[in-house]
């Protein structure tokens, strides 16, 4: 069987990774990469009355560390800033609180120790944009003029303190994809106003498009999702069959085409700037991004083929849970419920068929949206996971550059089962994928580890 290369996503505190038994068990399980979230330090200095740290404390790799109650807080700064790197930028970097230099040195030692064992470590988060501590700018003009220079300085500072790092990962990208009014997770597809800041105005001028016209087009799209009749949906399902049918449909409204162009260009501009900055520090550093599944990504402005030219790997998300946020099943549940409210003349079957055609998916006959409250059968993974994985391969090409996020919960969703995880991995293998990013290592149970290592251990 094809083995999968895992990249576990690790929340702080990272102190549990200092245990060599943990390191060796991970390596024996096939782990050769780790992603540290935000690189935050854990301030556990003696402090009477300090808060008990109680987040993600029960997984198999963290339980020994948390067997002793841990009191403390996370600190966004991972090191003491190097002032000369920021000279002339009009920005003061965040400062490490007094007394935490030892923690920063321990993190550097941990990264060097892991690298010596062949484990490559990257940092997740928008370096220079706040997760690593917020800078103080002398003026808005300085921020506008030197924003990317500051990111460059922060990455250089990271590499100065943690030379064993292999790269950086940013979440997203992507504009919103939800249609349910008031639901904030994931952002809004059609009813969110486009920002009219100077950066967007400049991009719109460069592309020859108009922000107000694109906003009006977005509102027209939302209105077209309301008041649909069975006859309209049936005609759409009969008529819209292929790629050129979709092109014909969108070309009807030039402002809709401009909206898609604008979203795609805005995302590419930010990703390209991040890529250039990282490679400018050291071309050997890798850069990854984390968009949603291909079925959502296109209308979010994420063209995998073009993004592939300005990234090293793509961690598109095989997030499949119901409820919560960011999960495939939860999103479809909300789509169905909202479209039912907007279109009372449509039955559930027609709405499902409409969603399948719009998203380019095919739900199995034995597992429709109404069934999402129960664990998914093999047919769901054989169709949805297989199809979306094949889309990844078609759009990106090299399976070594595809490391989809896999997880069992997010944002308060019910947990998927370990049996579902097994089916998910098998469908990825069948589709030809070779890597995955697991969310998250801190929560891995004995049962989950047993499933995972069937696909990862040598």
Measure Cα distances from 54 to 22, 71, 310, 442 in Å: 20, 9, 39, 12
Domain count of the fold of the chain? 1
Q: For strand 120-124 and strand 33-37, is the pairing parallel, antiparallel, or unpaired?
A: parallel
- Rounded distance, CA 128 to CA 153, Å? 8
- Rounded distance, CA 412 to CA 152, Å? 35
- Rounded distance, CA 52 to CA 212, Å? 50
Instruction: Record the tokens describing residue 362, joined without a space.
Output: 């095919």
pLDDT reported for residue 318: 97
Instruction: Record the tokens describing residue 335, joined without a space.
Output: 């789509």
- Rounded distance, CA 236 to CA 181, Å? 25
Q: How far apart are the first and last CA of the chain?
A: 11
> The domain spanning residue 290 has which CATH number?
3.20.20.80
Nearest to 433 by CA among 296, 301, 294: 294
302 phi and psi, to 5 degrees?
Answer: -105, 100
pLDDT reported for residue 87: 97
* pTM for this prediction: 0.96
Q: Give the up-direction half-sphere exposure of residue 432: CA atoms within 13 A in the CB hemisphere.
A: 13
The whole domain housing 154 covers 5-456
Nearest to 384 by CA among 327, 434, 325: 327
DSSP 346: S
Per-residue pLDDT of the chain (458 residues; tens, 9 = 90+): 779 999 999 999 999 999 999 999 999 999 999 999 999 999 999 887 789 998 999 999 999 999 999 999 999 999 999 999 999 999 999 999 999 999 999 999 999 999 999 999 999 999 998 889 999 999 999 999 999 999 999 999 999 999 999 999 999 999 999 999 888 777 787 667 889 999 999 999 999 999 999 999 998 988 899 999 999 999 999 998 888 888 888 888 999 999 999 999 999 999 999 999 999 999 999 999 999 999 999 999 999 999 999 999 999 999 999 998 889 999 999 999 999 999 999 999 999 999 999 999 999 999 999 999 999 999 999 999 999 999 999 999 999 999 999 999 987 889 999 999 999 999 999 999 999 999 999 999 999 999 999 999 87
- Rounded distance, CA 51 to CA 454, Å? 39
C-beta separation of 369 from 332 below 8 A: yes
Instruction: Record the tokens describing residue 74, joined without a space.
Output: 């996370």
Q: Give the up-direction half-sphere exposure of residue 244: CA atoms within 13 A in the CB hemisphere.
A: 0
């Amino acid at each position: 069987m094809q083995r999968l290369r895992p990249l576990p996503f690790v929340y702080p505190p990272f102190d549990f990774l200092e245990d060599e038994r943990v390191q060796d068990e991970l390596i024996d399980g096939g782990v050769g990469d780790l992603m540290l979230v935000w690189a935050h330090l854990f301030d556990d200095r003696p402090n009477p009355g300090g808060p008990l740290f109680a987040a993600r404390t029960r997984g198999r790799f963290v339980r020994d560390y948390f067997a002793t109650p841990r009191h403390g807080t996370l600190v966004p700064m991972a090191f003491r800033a190097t002032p000369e790197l920021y000279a002339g930028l009009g920005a003061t970097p965040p400062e490490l609180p007094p007394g935490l230099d030892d923690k920063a040195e321990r993190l550097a030692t941990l990264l060097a120790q892991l690298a010596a064992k062949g484990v490559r470590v990257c940092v997740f988060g928008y370096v220079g944009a706040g997760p690593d501590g917020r800078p103080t700018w002398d003026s808005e003009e300085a921020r506008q003029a030197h924003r990317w220079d500051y990111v460059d300085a922060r990455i250089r500072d990271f590499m100065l303190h943690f030379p064993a790092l292999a790269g950086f990962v940013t979440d997203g990208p992507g504009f919103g994809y939800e249609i349910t009014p008031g639901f904030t997770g994931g952002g809004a597809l059609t009813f969110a106003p486009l920002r009219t800041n100077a950066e967007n105005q400049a991009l719109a001028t460069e592309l020859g498009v108009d922000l107000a016209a694109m906003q009006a087009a977005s509102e027209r799209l939302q209105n077209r999702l309301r008041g649909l009749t069975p006859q309209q949906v049936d005609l759409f399902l009969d008529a819209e069959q292929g790629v050129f049918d979709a092109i014909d449909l969108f070309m009807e409204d030039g402002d809709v085409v401009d909206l898609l162009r604008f979203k795609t260009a805005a995302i590419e501009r930010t990703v390209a700037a991040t890529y250039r900055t990282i490679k400018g520090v050291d071309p050997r550093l890798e850069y990854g991004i984390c968009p949603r599944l291909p079925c959502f990504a296109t209308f979010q402005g994420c063209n995998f083929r073009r993004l592939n030219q300005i990234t090293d790997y793509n961690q598109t998300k095989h997030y499949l849970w119901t409820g919560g946020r960011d999960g495939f099943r939860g999103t479809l549940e909300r789509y169905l419920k909202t479209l039912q409210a907007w279109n009372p003349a449509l039955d559930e079957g027609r709405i499902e068929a409409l969603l399948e055609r719009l998203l380019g998916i095919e739900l199995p006959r034995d597992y429709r949206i109404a069934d999402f409250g129960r664990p998914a059968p093999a047919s769901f993974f054989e169709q949805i996971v297989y199809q979306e994985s094949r889309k990844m391969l078609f759009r990106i090409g090299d399976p070594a550059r595809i490391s989809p996020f896999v997880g069992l919960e997010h944002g308060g969703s019910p947990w998927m089962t370990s049996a579902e995880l097994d089916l998910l991995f098998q469908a990825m293998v069948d589709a030809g994928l070779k890597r995955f990013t697991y969310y998250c290592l801190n929560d891995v149970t004995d049962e989950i580890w047993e499933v995972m290592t069937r696909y990862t251990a040598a």
